[in-house]
Structures are given as structure tokens and as C-alpha cells.
Amino acid sequence: MNWKLQSLPYSVDLETLKVLRLLPEAHRALAELKGVAQSIPRQDILINTLAIQEAKDSSEVENIVTTHDEIYKASMGIESVTSSQAKEVQNYIVAMKTGFAIVAKNHFLSINHIKQIQQILENNNAGFRKVPGTTLKNNKTDEVVYTPPPKP
């Protein structure tokens, strides 16, 4: 199955009656989460846990599999007990937090910001790929499931 990215804005109306009816419930749940989060003495612990889970799950898509234990050890800098996979996930976490901080401060992402985040993520200064044609394939069937859009 090939995926094609649609141009923005989407032609589909996202503010359907069904979605609008679910908004009060979503608002209530977010308010409840906010109330619970405010009762936590160090809210950064909750946020860090969410970032770690996101980084771990997203990295598994690229066959970078690790455990929470290894990620926590990597975040503490214990070199002798840290796997390369945990280090990659840790780079992902730092890159995600850096990107969030950049957007919070500047309210936009520039090409240089993206390169800065990429440098943290990949732990090098490679910059953007020079060779087009990177695709995602199904490992079992070799079927291309995603081809990124060409360079503008």
C-alpha cells in the first residue's frame, strides 16, 4: 500500500458534527489531567515519562528496540551499562525536547533549527540527505509503503 501525502489544508471538513459532539468530553479529560498534573510536585517527571515513551515507541518503528531501564541508565550517563539502542533513543528524547524549546521560544521552525535538531538526533553534522529516494518498505514483502515527497 503506497501512501500519498495530501496538500494542506485538507479538503475534508474536520469539524464534523461527531467531532464537535466529542469536544466537551475531550475538554473535560484535559481539565482533569491538568488538575492531576498540578498535584504532582515535579511535573517534569510526568512530561519526561511521556517523552521517553514516545521516543521508545517511535524508535521501535526503525527497529531500534530497548527497555525503559536502559533508557533511564542512558539518561544518567552510565556508559558501561548502556546499549547503543538506548543511546539512540536518548538522542531522540533530547532532540524532541530541543525542538519543543525552539518552537516555544521562536514560534516557528527554520531550516537551521531542523538541522540543529537533526544533529542532536543523529549525533553528527550530516545535514540533509543529498540523495533522493529514501523509502519505507515492508520487511516481509519488500513492498514500498511510503515514499517521501521530492525536494521542492
- Answer whether residue 125 shows pLDDT above 90: no
Point out which residues pair with 144 in neighbouring strands. 137
In this prediction, residue 21 carries a pLDDT of 95
Residue 29 has phi, psi (to 5 degrees) of -65, -40
Q: 4-11: list long-range contacts, CB under 8 Å, 24+ apart.
A: 5/149
DSSP secondary structure of 40-76: SS-HHHHHHHHHHHHHHHHHHHTT----HHHHHHHHH
In this prediction, residue 133 carries a pLDDT of 65
pTM: 0.58
In this prediction, residue 19 carries a pLDDT of 93
**Cα separation, 127 vs 149, whole angstroms:** 18
Give the position of cell 514516545: 54
In this prediction, residue 6 carries a pLDDT of 75
Residue 54: closest CA among 6, 105, 109, 93: 93
- Answer whether residue 138 shows pLDDT above 80: no
**Cα separation, 46 vs 103, whole angstroms:** 20
Helix (H, G, I), strand (E, B) or coil at 85: helix
- Over residues 67-88, the pLDDT tens digits come to 888 887 777 776 666 788 888 8
